[in-house]
Structures are given as C-alpha cells and as structure tokens.
Amino acid sequence: MIVELPDTTTSQVSKTLVKIREEGGVVALGRVLTLVIATAPGSEEEAIEAANDASREHPMRVIVVSSDPEEAPDLDARLDAEIRVGGDAGASEVIVLRAHGDAARDEESLVMGLLLPDAPVVTWWPGASPDVPGQSPLGRIAHRRITDASTKPDPQHALHACATSYTPGDADFAWTRLTLWRAQLAAVLDQPPYAPITAVKVTGAIDSPSTTLLAAWLHLQLDAPTTYELTPVEEGSHGIHGVELQRDGGTVELVRDIPGVATLNQPGQPTHHVALPRRNLRDCLADELRRLDPDELYGEVITSGLALLGDAEAEGVHA
C-alpha cells in the first residue's frame, strides 16, 4: 500500500503512520533500527529496493530524504511525502520525504520526529555524500554512516577522502565488497605451508576503490612489500582483477578472469575455481546492518593501512 501526502509536514506524516497502523494492523514492533537514506531526486527507487530486500533480514523503518542541493534557494518551502507499507515495503515501512526550498535545508529536523524510539539509526548515502559524514546533519544522529566511494566521479580520490574524514562508525561499500576476497585469502593463508609472504601484488580497475583498500589491508596484515596496479576500465573488467602472494616456495594467485568466478593457483596443488561474484547493493547493505558498532578493522585499514600504502608508493613500491 502506498499513501501519498502532498504538501505536508512531518507531524502529519507521523499521524498518518499511526492511523495506518491502527486501521490496517501494520505495527512497528520488531523493527530493529531506523535506516535513513539521503539521495538525489530520481535515484530513490534503487536504494529503496535494496533496503526492502535487506529488511527481510533486518526489519526496520526506512526514511528516504530526497533533495537537490543545486536547487534554486529561493523556491518556496514544500514537503511531499509518501508512505509505503505491506507488499510495497518488504519487511519494513518506507517513508519518502521529497523536500524543496527551506524544507530541504534542515534534514535533521525532517527525520527526527519519524525515528523509531530507542532504536539505532543508520544513515546511508547511496550517491553523493557530505565531505565529513560524521559532522553532517544526518550523520550526527546516526550510530553508523555508510557511503559508497565507487559512485563518485573519482573513486580513488573519494576513498582517500574517507580516510581524512573518518569518524568511528563510518563505513564504505568499498570495504564491504571485499568480504568474499578477504575470506578466501584468509582461508588460503590458513593452509600449509605456513611460509611468510614476501611480496604482494593486487590488480584492478581504476574505478575500483576496493582494489586499493584490499592492497592496504594486505599490506597492514602481512607487513610485506605491496604493489597495486590500477588499469583503465576499457582494458579489462570492473572491480578487482586478482591478487598475487609471493613466497619462497612459489606464488599463490587468485585471479577473477571471468565475471563471478576466480581461479586459485597454488604451488603443488590443482587449480581451483572459486565463486567470487561482485556484491550487489542488497548484499552490501545487509552486511553492514549486521553490526551497529564501529568497524574497528575498517577504521584501521582506511586510516593506517592507506597511509602505509602511501609510504610504500613514495618508496617506489607502487606499480
């Protein structure tokens, strides 16, 4: 069910929610968190679809704040709202707020009256995000703040901006997309022989901040000389292409040569094919919502790991 509320207020939206619950039996009990999605006009549906899918694992209230920062500042203040429940909202209830004029200037006030009481708040910017998410109006009220460097015009620059603006509780999908790669590499290193890694090489597309972040994680964890190569998109597929771990006894190679499937080569062992699909928005969002405390490992990698990788680059280790 979708209820349209043109030219309304947050108070009227809240009252309508109560009315819908009383008349239709839709309840807020069991909602474990409030997800606030800050997006540009026209980009709401993809984010809502991902949130609806993720809500089946994490029942929640979804508040979508849609505004255009480049909109003429002299427009009359106006708030158009939409409430989705039932089959149109998965296991959540979705409130879409389309703000214009002065109504779009105070995002915090727009959502404060709609947050679930005593429930954690997660803010997600699927596209453009503030320079310092932790100090933004929607970031200050959140326990977790999620960005996506890969959606920016310059993903590599956006990743380093995440490092300089990092506040405990921040997260980026560039890190979330590494979960399967990190698990597979950790499994390889848990097998004999247990010889130390002497060199690491990571390759990927230039529009893949995950490639740089994977190199930073490996450099931080293995303390081995690390190189990473970023290739133009037209020369290969998007995302991470492969990882080489060099030992005295030979090189371990994990290469994603076809979409969704990687080839694992280890000295003295047969070639294995490993499922390594690129994670979609739903998977990344559901993964990040599994923890509502700061991701300390991400914080260490995005700050210290990237900095160490920068030192390696200055020493000529970067390829």
Predicted pLDDT of residue 232: 87
For the chain, how far is it from start to end, CA to CA, in angstroms?
54
pLDDT average, residue stretch 287-303: 95
Percentage of the chain beyond pLDDT 90 is 69
Q: Which amino acid is at 268?
A: G
Predicted pLDDT of residue 6: 93
Highest mean pLDDT among 102-111, 122-131, 305-314: 122-131
Predicted pLDDT of residue 316: 37
- pLDDT tens figures, 298-313: 999 999 999 988 755 4
24 band by pLDDT with thresholds 50, 70 and 90: low
CA distance 67 to 98: 6
For 2, the enclosing helix (H) or strand (E) is strand 2-5
Check: CB of residue 68 under 8 Å from CB of residue 40: yes
CA distance 65 to 96: 6
- pLDDT tens figures, 172-210: 999 999 999 999 999 999 988 889 999 999 999 999 999
pLDDT average, residue stretch 68-96: 80
Q: What are phi and psi of 264, to 5 degrees?
A: -110, 115
Predicted pLDDT of residue 233: 79
CA distance 296 to 145: 14
pLDDT average, residue stretch 66-78: 74
Predicted pLDDT of residue 314: 39
CA distance 224 to 246: 10
Helix intervals (H) in 165-305: 173-176, 179-189, 209-222, 281-288, 296-300
Please choose, from the candidates 140, 42, 138, the residue with its C-alpha nearest in 3D space to the C-alpha of residue 98: 42
Total residue count of the chain as it appears in this document: 319
